[in-house]
Amino acid sequence: MQSFTSTRSGTLTYTRAGQGDPLVCVPGGPLLPADYLGDLGGLTQHAELILFDPPGSLPGDDTDAAALRCDLIVEDLEALRQHLGLGRVALLGHSAGANIVLRYAELHGEHVEQLLLVTPSTRSVGLDISDADRSAVARSRAGEPWYDTAAAALVRIQADEATEDDWNEIAPFSHGRWDDAAAEYEAAMNLARNPRAATAFGADGAFDPPATRQALGALQAPVTIVAGSVDVGLPLPIAQEFVDLFPHATLEVQVGAGHFPWVDDRHAFRDIAVRALARR
């Protein structure tokens, strides 16, 4: 683990792994430590991954909640780019981390070489995902042994009648393959979550979809959006709407993958990511 200084947040950390052109990776959560990304399916064989730990993500981090808003963290990412000495930067954003990446592209588009958005959250661009869209994806898993329990929990969540257990019960919908390894992976992420930071991330002012969409419509860098075919977090019709926001974007669908495609099939994800990086 290495560190750098952001004039906004003080000392922050990142990890370097692999060889090749640098790819700065921003984790989801929101505000999880980046280590859950691992080697992104062996992508370290093709790129140098720079795994950024956002403020509020590490154990014991007591950063003031007001400083954890998505749009403010953009300036920490810019400080990392300057620290690395990169004139232009290739960025990977997973899930909620894509919001940071997209707001970065809005505010510092001249420094963006390429975007790789993996099962991205849509909050920063204001694309609404309906309950019907999510339920349609969920029904594609009806043959799974866990489906009835998870589907019932999803219905309660959509009706605003959820219990705390219901959020755990729908976890299989985030994975293309729900087995002991996936359950262990999910449990490790849950232990690392910081609810205070996650709430602060989306506080008032964090997102400005009209401004972000306008800026992305003029972005000349290549963009790849990776969607899992069974991801309830980003149904494929919404993924296509996402792609249409950019002048130079490609949609890559990983068949059978959920919200963590490098976990579901590391080789398939690596092939997609390598193909995307070749678009630089």
pTM: 0.96
Q: Beta 48-53 vs 89-94: how paired, if at all?
A: unpaired
Is residue 279 very low, low, confident or very high in pLDDT (cuts 50, 70, 90)? confident
Tell me the chain's radius of gyration from C-alpha atoms.
Answer: 18
Nearest residue to 55 (alpha-carbon basis) of 185, 191, 196: 196
Ordered by start, the domain boundaries in the chain are 2-126+197-277
pLDDT of 258: 98
Nearest residue to 271 (alpha-carbon basis) of 258, 259, 249, 255: 255
Q: Which two tokens stand for residue 81?
A: 């780019």
Predicted confidence (pLDDT) per residue in 180-227, tens digit: 999 999 999 999 988 888 899 999 999 999 999 999 999 999 999 999
Nearest residue to 273 (alpha-carbon basis) of 224, 210, 201: 224
Question: For residue 241, what are the contacts with CB-CB under 8 A and spacing of at least 6?
Answer: 127
SS3 of 167, please? Answer: helix
Mean pLDDT over residues 129-145, rounded? 96
Predicted confidence (pLDDT) per residue in 244-253, tens digit: 999 999 999 9
Nearest residue to 41 (alpha-carbon basis) of 276, 235, 236, 229: 276
Predicted confidence (pLDDT) per residue in 105-115, tens digit: 999 999 999 99
CA 233 remoteness from chain centre = 11
pLDDT of 201: 96
Predicted confidence (pLDDT) per residue in 8-41, tens digit: 989 999 999 999 999 999 999 999 999 999 999 9
Q: 2-126+197-277 — its CATH code?
A: 3.40.50.1820
- Phi and psi, residue 5, nearest 5°: -110, 130
The gap between the terminal CA atoms of the chain, to the nearest Å, is 27
Whole-number average pLDDT of the chain: 96
Q: Tell me how far apart the alpha carbons of residues 276 and 226 are, in angstroms, rounded to a whole number.
A: 9
Is residue 85 very low, low, confident or very high in pLDDT (cuts 50, 70, 90)? very high
| 94 touches 29 (CB < 8 A) | no
| 25 touches 89 (CB < 8 A) | no
